[in-house]
Amino acid sequence: MCGITGVFRAAGLAGLQQRAPGILDEMTDALTHRGPDQRWTRWVDGPTATARGPVAGLGVRRLALVDVKGGQQPASDPSSRWWVCLNGEIYNHARLRQEVRAHDSRLTGNGEAELIAALVAQVGVSTALERLDGQFALSIVDTVDETVWLVRDRMGQKPLYWTVLKDGSLAWASELRALRRPGLGMPGGSVRRAALQAVLLWEFVPSPLTPWQDIDKLPPGGVLRFARGRATVDRWYRPPVPVGGRGGDFHRWARSVRGSLHVSVLQRLRADVEVGALLSGGLDSTGVASLAQGTLERPLATFGVSVDHPGFDEGPRARLAAAELGTFHRQVPFRLDDMAELAESVLQHMDEPLADSSLLPTWSLMAAVRAAGLKCVLSGDGADELFCGYPTTLAHAMLPPRPSPRLAGTLAKMVTQLPVRSDGVSADYMARRMVAGLSRPFGWRHQTWMGAWLPEEVLPDDTLDDLLQRETAPSEGAPAAARALHLDQRLYLADGVLVKVDRASMAHGVEVRSPFLDHRLVELAADIGLGHKIKRPGPRSLARRRLFRGKHVLSQALADDVPLAVRQRAKQGFGSPVGPWLRGPGRARLADLPDQLADLIDPGHMQLTIREHLEGKRDHRRRLWSAHVVARWRHSPWGRP
């Protein structure tokens, strides 16, 4: 795993070199945390060196997991026409290397970037991408045709940002901090209002947006081609829309899921360093850890978080699962007293605002992984978005596509009677959000159910509306639950969950590998009907107040690998007690929010929201935490023009 950065200009970069001779080093060193093991920079000439200078400057910071002593980057094909920088892992590199060497014996190294360059030279960029199996962000420079391709992996596990500079050069990097360098020559420093609105509404910045008008980020499965001074962006991969109905034999589907997941786990265990696993005690992480433990002769190192607050602690579940599996387990404490210092460290590091409060315990977890001497772990991320694990998806399955005004009114009256709770992911909060979104178009309805502030509270502009229309269009006509899965894969997973995991892990020099995000498993899951993913309640279940349950086929797939008690547990959700903290030790952070965010949220409404939360009348933790994150980002070095 690495951090990559670069600049390109067909007319040559002599001007940039003269104006800012150390800029490539500066950009590369800004990503040291992503790759603490090795560092390389290189200026690359075109087909003939001329007075115009090199056409590309490439930098890499490397976290060495495979071919630890080798793997030098940037790497070229044997002809030195194609130059590649890689952030990530290619899981099928051994097989691809055999195929490439069969046609060109000059490929002698074991580096993955060198392999990709040679593969591109043989089959072209488009075919090469289809052959790659892994999580990655790539820059590919063709020095003959003077063209650059920037690429993100299929599901968006690795980030990549880009911009066109004042002189027409293309610049890119794994994180915003490497592009926000004074000597680089950025066009300007205008904040993108829609991005901050998105953080308040959805808790993340959706691609292609960033907080800056002049910088974009590639979407998952995105590819940018830059030639003759012009950038064009497309998608080289789109996950299929999940199908509705039931279809096919349930147990056969379950066996296929188990087999595909097992292969994916085996692939992600391959490394020249020890690989551990994150373990929460839920179905997803326990299934991954169990399949991994079954292949090892030693106990698998597993890591979990114990949040010292009612409703948030996954510690007991994780410890029980670890005991059942026989892993060597470490439980990381997360205390309310540590929140102030931890929040400050996390928010100072984040060059792009992210308001998912689970970033805080995730940060502690990754610090513990690195302190234990590991730099690679498996996770269960992605299973909820494939197999209907979220309550919002189940709500879509239970409710009619277009609820009548009468039904909406009845539900609205019911939720007003629910008691306010602040322990964990509370049912009253989810119910209120569901009612608030019922009358909206599908995209806004679903994002309202998932989000923090309501659209009318933030007054979003057409940018977010257009984005939602574009991302929901491919699933038009599918059942609402299938559309929710597809939208979650594109937005919440790619721009929320995976950003959280990437930033927290890379801040500590740790790579996270997610077996559920193997594209073959993603495509298999899409072919399984909703009737096999969602278990509808029978008479006994209703008597015990058990309604719809998600991940039905996944639970069956892991029946021989995961204890029954784990498979039968209700989903807990992963978060941190920011609500109680903001009501207690952190309440001083709320005082200036009405003034700090007056251009985004009406100050009077903000004051009312703060007062209701402090008095315990409503649980506004997500609203206030997202507001605090945006305000804190604005006053950090990363938010200054």
Give the torsion through C-alpha atoms of 410, 413, 417, 419, to 10 deg.
90
76-94 core/surface letters (b: 16 or more CB in 10 A; e: else)? bbeeebbbbbbbbbbbebe
Q: Are residues 267 and 209 in the same domain?
A: no
Q: Report the amino acid identity of residue 483.
A: R
pLDDT at 415: 61
Q: What is the pLDDT of residues 135-174, one digit of tens each?
A: 999 999 999 999 999 999 999 999 999 999 999 999 999 9
Answer with the one of 177, 211, 235 that is the final residue of a domain.
235
In terms of domains, do 179 and 299 share one? no
Same domain, 156 and 213: yes
Please say if the pLDDT value at position 575 is more than 80.
no
Rg (alpha carbons) of the chain, rounded to whole number:
24
In a 3-state reduction of DSSP, which class is residue 251?
helix
In a domain, 400, yes or no: no
Structure tokens at 632: 């804190």
Cβ neighbours, 10 Å, residue 328: 14
* Residues 581, 558 share a domain: no
Say if residues 428 and 415 touch (Cβ distance below 8 Å).
Answer: yes
Helix or strand run (H / E) with residue 458: helix 455-458
For residue 545, the model assigns a pLDDT of 42
Q: Which of 549, 568, 587 is the last residue of a domain?
A: 568
Residues 229 and 293 in one domain: no
Tell whether 535 is covered by a domain.
yes
What is the CA 304 to chain-centroid distance, rounded?
19
What are the start-end ranges of the H helices in 296-382? 315-325, 339-349, 359-371
Residue 70 is predicted with a pLDDT of 67
Considering only CA atoms, which of 158, 148, 29, 35 is closest in space to residue 88?
Answer: 158
Residues 502 and 594 in one domain: no
- Residue pair 394/530 in contact (Cβ under 8 Å)? The answer is no
Percent of the chain clearing pLDDT 70 (strictly above): 91
Residue 410, pLDDT score: 66
Answer whether 2's CB lies under 8 Å from 87's CB.
Answer: yes
Q: Is the pLDDT score of 413 beyond 80?
A: no
Residue 633 confidence (pLDDT) above 90: yes
pLDDT of residue 307: 85
Tokens of 97: 């290397």
Cβ atoms of 325 and 319 closer than 8 Å = no
How many whole angstroms separate alpha carbon 593 and alpha carbon 205?
A: 20
Do 333 and 220 fall into the same domain?
no
Distance CA 87, CA 72 (A): 12
Arithmetic mean of pLDDT, 305-316: 80
Q: Answer with the residue of higher pLDDT: 54 or 383.
A: 383
Whether residue 539 lies inside any domain: the answer is yes
- How much of the chain, in percent, has pLDDT values that exceed 90? 70
Number of domains in the chain: 3
Residue 423 in this model has a pLDDT that exceeds 80: no
Least confident of 53-57, 346-350, 360-364: 53-57
Q: Concatenate the DSSP letters of all residues of 423-482 into one string.
A: SSS-HHHHHHHHHHHTTS-HHHHHHHHH-SS-HHHH---HHHHHHHHHHHGGGTTS-HHH
**Which among 533, 568, 603 is the end of a domain?**
568
377 and 513, same domain (yes or no): yes
Residue 114 sits in the same domain as residue 263: no
Helices (H) and strands (E) in the chain, counts: 29, 17
CATH of the domain at 95: 3.60.20.10
Contact present, 286 and 572 (Cβ < 8 Å): no
- Specify the higher pLDDT residue, 69 or 315: 315
Cβ contact 554:535 at 8 Å: no
> By three-state DSSP, how is residue 248 classified?
coil
Mean pLDDT score of the chain = 90
Interacting residues of 94 by C-beta distance below 8 A, sequence separation 6+? none
b or e along 215-240 (b: 16 or more beta carbons within 10 Å of the residue's beta carbon)? bbbbbbbbbbbbeeeeeeeeebbebe
Q: Report the alpha-carbon distance of residue 226 to residue 349 in Å, rounded.
A: 30
Q: What does the H/E/C string look like for 79-106?
A: CCCEEEEEEEEECCHHHHHHHHHHHCCC
Confidence (pLDDT) at 420 = 61
The predicted structure's pLDDT at residue 544: 42
In a domain, 210, yes or no: yes
Asked whether residue 68 is domain-assigned, the answer is yes
Clarify whether residues 563 and 582 are in a common domain. no
Min mean pLDDT across 59-68, 96-105, 422-431 is at 422-431
Token pair in block for residue 243: 């199908």
Average pLDDT over residues 232-241: 97
SS3 content of the chain, % helix, strand, coil (to 5): 45, 15, 40
Tell me the residue range of the domain where 80 lies. 2-235
pLDDT at 371 over 90: yes
Whether residues 599 and 501 share a domain: the answer is no
Which pLDDT band holds residue 543 (cuts at 50, 70, 90)? very low
What is the pLDDT, as a whole number, of residue 278?
A: 97
pLDDT number for residue 536:
78
Between 148 and 14, the higher pLDDT residue: 148
Determine, yes or no, domain membership for 243.
no
pLDDT given at position 513: 97
Q: Is 426 a member of any domain?
A: no
Q: How far apart are the two ends of the chain, measured CA to CA in Å?
A: 30
Identify which of 7-16, 217-226, 612-621 has the greatest average pLDDT: 217-226
What tokens were used for 591?
């005082």
* Per-residue pLDDT reduced to its tens digit, 477-527: 999 999 999 999 999 999 999 999 999 999 999 999 999 999 999 999 999
Which has more pLDDT, 355 or 536?
355
User: For residue 419, which of 428, 411, 431 has the smallest C-alpha distance?
Assistant: 428
Least confident of 45-54, 240-249, 413-422, 614-623: 413-422
CA atoms within 13 A on the CB side of 270: 12
Contacts of 130 (CB under 8 A, 6+ apart): 236
* 379 located within any domain: yes
* Same domain assignment for residues 597 and 533: no
Q: What secondary structure does DSSP assign to 605-624, as a single string?
A: HHHHHHHHHHTTSS--HHHH
The CATH number for 506's domain is 3.40.50.620
| Angle at 555 (CA atoms; ends 400, 397), nearest 5 degrees | 5
The string of pLDDT tens digits covering residues 469-483 is: 999 999 999 999 999
Mean pLDDT of 55-69: 83
